[in-house]
Amino acid sequence: MALVTGPLLSLDARGQVAGSIVFSNWKGRAYVRQLVTPSNPKSAGQTSNRAMFKFLSQAWAGLSAAEQATWEALAAATTISPFNAYQSFNMAEWTQFVTPFKDPAASGETIPVMGALTLTGGVRQAEISQVITTANDIWGMLIARSDATFGGDPTKTQIVAAVEYPGASPITYVDTPLAPDTYFYRTAGFTGDGQLTAWVTEGSVVVT
């Protein structure tokens, strides 16, 4: 993406040209970029990124005023809002499969103790219920899905959801829509300073 001044002899050019470039405006700054159409918008990588983006968007409102304020310096350095600084920083971390931070300098939190994982199959869906034995500093939980046994720890592209801890055990999530099949799931909790627990032993469920 390139920032521009007076694109196309206009102070506010918007839209695409010849199906190849796009002019637009973001937070008062005009820019131009290449028009990109994903070849598969529902790929595993896209699903994983959308899961984390959704988590971050929803979790921001639950951060304390002090936690939100920690993003102001990074926001000022890049001339964006604290929310966008938080999103940008954490999505960049996510590309390396690092779970998110409430505060960019956070450290020293205690990981939770994960309990039993229960899976319930239904029509086009699977319900995941994860017991949190000891919450400690849990912020959320990753959910990984596979159509075969994992054979090791899940990869980033197997993440289908990131769910915020609701304040009490268990954490539940309904994975839908799914085609009829047998699916395998694993979960892991994470803290607000980027720490991830060990992955819970996988379970399987039949979806009809």
CA 171 to chain CA mean position, Å: 16
| pTM for this prediction | 0.81
- Single-letter amino acid code for the residue at 125: Q
- pLDDT, position 12: 62
- pLDDT, position 7: 57
Domain ranges of the chain: 2-34, 40-208
For the chain, the average pLDDT equals 90
Contact between 150 and 144 (Cβ < 8 Å): yes
Judged against a pLDDT cut of 60, whether residue 2 lies above it is answered with no
Residue of higher predicted confidence among 63 and 24: 63
Contact between 34 and 20 (Cβ < 8 Å): yes
Judged against a pLDDT cut of 70, whether residue 1 lies above it is answered with no
pLDDT digit string, tens, across residues 51-83: 999 999 999 999 999 999 999 999 999 899 999
In order of 21, 45, 52, 128, 148, the CA distances from 40 in angstroms are: 20, 10, 18, 27, 22
How far is Cα 123 from Cα 176, in angstroms, rounded to an integer?
A: 9
pLDDT digit string, tens, across residues 90-99: 999 999 999 9
Confidence of residue 30 (pLDDT cuts 50, 70, 90): low
- pLDDT, position 123: 98
In order of 5, 26, 87, 122, 148, the CA distances from 165 in angstroms are: 44, 32, 19, 24, 27
Q: Among residues of the chain, what percentage have pLDDT more than 90? A: 78
Q: Where are the alpha helices (DSSP H) in 30-163?
A: 44-59, 65-69, 72-78, 82-94
CA-angle at 126, arms to 124 and 127, nearest 5°: 140
CATH code: domain 40-208 is 2.60.40.10
Contact between 112 and 197 (Cβ < 8 Å): yes
